[in-house]
């Protein structure tokens, strides 16, 4: 099983807020529209976004997201950090663009899943 900490380590992500890094990762969803994430993401997925405001934490909690990753080196707003700490939601920062990060993540997640299942 792939975990948040394994991904953070392999991809050199900076952990801005540490929740439970032993959470498993079964897929990934990418969107900056919060209602889209609400509709289409699943439990135990990573969520890659450029949004940095506190509502991303609320969406992550409601959806059971394993960890948030902000791309292009974007930092969460101070209020977001505070909320994520309270809710124990992991937020990580990648220097890569969303496209590059998705490309790096895809084989990692795919290889961690049973052969018949692809990343969601």
Partner 1 sequence: MMPESGPVEGSFHLMGGDFTNAGSASSELKAKLVKFGVAQNIVRRAAIAAFEAEMNVIIHAVAGTLHYLITTEALTITVTDMGPGIKDIKLAMQEGYSTAPDWVREMGWGAGMGLPNISKHSDAFKLDTVVGEGTTLEMFFYIKERNADG
Which residues of the chain form contacts with partner 1 (CB under 8 A)? 32-36, 38-39, 43, 49, 51, 53-55, 57-59, 61-63, 79, 87
Of 85 and 87, the one with the shorter C-beta distance to partner 1 is 87
CA geometry: angle 78, 79, 80, nearest 5 deg: 90
Of 1 and 58, the one with the shorter C-beta distance to partner 1 is 58
Q: How far is the CB of 57 from partner 1 (least distance, A)?
A: 8
Q: Between the CA of residue 19 and those of 15, 65, 84, 90, what are the distances in Å?
A: 9, 11, 8, 4
Q: Are 14 and 93 in contact (CB under 8 A)?
A: yes
Q: Are 20 and 88 in contact (CB under 8 A)?
A: yes
Q: How far is the CB of 79 from partner 1 (least distance, A)?
A: 6
Q: How far is the CB of 4 from partner 1 (least distance, A)?
A: 20
């Amino acid at each position: 099983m792939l975990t948040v900490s394994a991904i953070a380590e392999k991809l050199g992500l900076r952990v801005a807020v540490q929740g439970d890094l032993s959470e498993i990762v079964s897929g990934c969803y990418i969107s900056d529209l919060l209602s889209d994430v609400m509709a289409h993401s699943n439990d135990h997925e990573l969520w890659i976004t450029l949004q940095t405001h506190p509502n991303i934490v609320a969406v992550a909690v409601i959806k059971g997201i394993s960890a948030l990753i902000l791309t292009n080196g974007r930092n969460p707003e101070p209020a977001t950090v505070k909320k994520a700490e309270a809710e124990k939601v992991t937020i990580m920062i990648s220097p890569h663009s969303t496209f590059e990060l998705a490309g790096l993540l895809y084989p990692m997640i795919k290889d961690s899943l049973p052969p018949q299942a692809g990343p969601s």
